Amino acid sequence: MSEIDLKAVDLNLLVTLDALLTERSVSRAARRLGVGQPAASHRLAQLRELLDDPLLVRSGRRMVPTPRGEALAAPLARLLADARRLLQQRPAFDPATTEAGFTVLSPDVLAPVLPGILARIRTEAPNASLTVVPRGTRDPQLALDDGLVDLALVPSLQEGPGLMARGLGALHLGVVARVGHPAVCDGALSAEDWVAWPHVMVRTGAPGRSMVERAIEAAGYTRRVGLVTPTFLAALFAVADTDLLFAAPRALVRRTAARLGLVVLPAPLPLPAVPVAAAWHERFQQDAQHRFFRERIIAALEEVLGRG
């Protein structure tokens, strides 16, 4: 007998053959399969042609398997049981023993939060690790598509092809100054003093003017930039050691303000909030390992952003 080309075979016929060999009746096999008796008879005819054997023959008022059919019964049952297990199983994931890593594409401004997130994750997964990839000018869609990162923290919901996304909240800006800054009076800062003193600006590589600069100009002022730095943390250290002022997310700066001798003041002019969302590729939506990391990172960020 020539080799059978599986591409040309309807593998559902194997399910039918198993039912026929088990029930030894076309009508009972049809009921078991949820099809009509003519459909079951047609499938038996296809099987006979495919395997070049009658498989089941009538003996009196019942059907009995041929030697070929008898030989197929047990291995066929095992094959279908294995197929069911294969389709039902999911990769096991145990946080307590995993040594998995998780890669997050993140804007630099969220850097102060990430060590605390890792500490929370490690209470359940002590051997897990996080890798943070700076956002810079990287396209989150491409990074997720190519598998370079597992999760992207982005300033807006980006539901591109194959992406899942969830809004986490917003960053509300305040003004950061060193303790004892001469422009700060009773925990407040006037708009005139804010624009009179030089500012720190974080340049991320994004084109155009920053939202802070646009807001100041919309109010009829012009700000002075005394330092341009590529990172959020460098800006905080500069403010701690100088009289520079820095417009930054209040909830994030509060986590490091006391250590660096900083105060966080209300913005003297209306500044737009910065939305934050998490995005991931849909192929990981049901993956247990990805879901473990993703849910804990999202929950931690929602908690921080909820504080304003």
Nearest to 243 by CA among 185, 179, 304, 290: 179
Q: Are residues 149 and 221 in the same domain?
A: no
Q: Are residues 83 and 12 in the same domain?
A: yes
The CATH number of the domain where 134 resides is what? 3.40.190.10
| φ, ψ of residue 276 in degrees (nearest 5) | -130, 135
Domains held by the chain: number: 3
With residue 164 as reference, give the H or E element that holds it.
strand 163-171
Q: Are residues 152 and 221 in the same domain?
A: no
State pLDDT tens for residues 93-109.
899 999 999 999 998 88
Q: Are residues 164 and 179 in the same domain?
A: no
Residue 239: pLDDT band (50, 70, 90) is very high
Q: What is the pLDDT of residue 126?
A: 95
Last residue of a domain, one of 56, 88, 120: 88
Q: Are residues 71 and 111 in the same domain?
A: no
Q: What is the pLDDT of residue 71?
A: 92
Pairing of strands 129-134, 163-171: unpaired
Within 8 A by CB and 6+ apart from 56, the residues are: 20, 21, 24, 44, 63, 64, 65, 66, 69
Residue 205: pLDDT band (50, 70, 90) is low
pLDDT at 16 over 60: yes
The owner of tokens 């919309």 is 218
Residue 271, domain member (yes or no)? no
Kindly report the average pLDDT of the chain as a whole number: 88
**Full domain range(s) for residue 23:** 6-88
Q: What is the pLDDT of residue 162?
A: 86
- Please give the residue that has the higher pLDDT: either 70 or 207: 70
Q: Is the pTM of this model over 0.85?
A: no
Q: Are residues 146 and 191 in the same domain?
A: no
Residue 204, domain member (yes or no)? yes
Using a pLDDT cut of 70, give the percent of the chain over it: 93
With residue 16 as reference, give the H or E element that holds it.
helix 12-23
Of 159-163, 194-198, 271-275, give the lowest mean pLDDT range: 159-163
Using a pLDDT cut of 90, give the percent of the chain over it: 52
Q: What is the pLDDT of residue 295?
A: 95
Q: Are residues 10 and 148 in the same domain?
A: no
160-173 core/surface letters (b: 16 or more CB in 10 A; e: else): eeebebeebbbbbb
Q: What is the pLDDT of residue 220?
A: 92
The CATH number of the domain where 73 resides is what? 1.10.10.10
Residue 17, domain member (yes or no)? yes
Q: What is the pLDDT of residue 307?
A: 62
Q: What is the pLDDT of residue 108?
A: 84
Residue 96, domain member (yes or no)? no
Q: How far apart are CA 18 and CA 151, in angstroms?
A: 45
Structure token pair of residue 233: 């943390």
Q: What is the pLDDT of residue 92?
A: 78
Contact present, 197 and 244 (Cβ < 8 Å)? yes
Q: What is the pLDDT of residue 159?
A: 63
Q: Are residues 178 and 255 in the same domain?
A: yes
State pLDDT tens for residues 241-271.
999 999 999 988 887 888 899 999 999 999 9
